[in-house]
Amino acid sequence: KAYSQLEQEYERDPNTKELANLLDMDSQDVADTLKIAGRHVSVDAPFAQGDDNRLLDVLQNDGHMPDHTLNRDSLTLEVERSLSVLAPREA
């Protein structure tokens, strides 16, 4: 909350000394807390204002794509149907 307050006030990211003064804390404690806390990043937000590129566009999806699974299942079914009409020696 203090970080956001100073960020709005200064229109930039506050440094640890400014945060420490506001919170009446030691600068090192503030620095350690900032390292642990990190900031959240939206995968839907554009990289820069006015930019159409999003993090979601460049992240690799290792999961199975539903359309690939559907295509594979459909092809398997078609091959099985085709083989079923052939004589055993032709299959």
The total of other beta-carbon atoms located within 10 Å of residue 79's CB is 10
pLDDT, residue 33, reads 83
Alpha-carbon distances, residue 73 vs 35, 65, 84 (angstroms): 48, 12, 17
**Residue-range domain boundaries for the chain:** 2-61
pLDDT, residue 38, reads 66
- Confidence class for position 54, pLDDT limits 50, 70, 90: confident
pTM for the model: 0.40
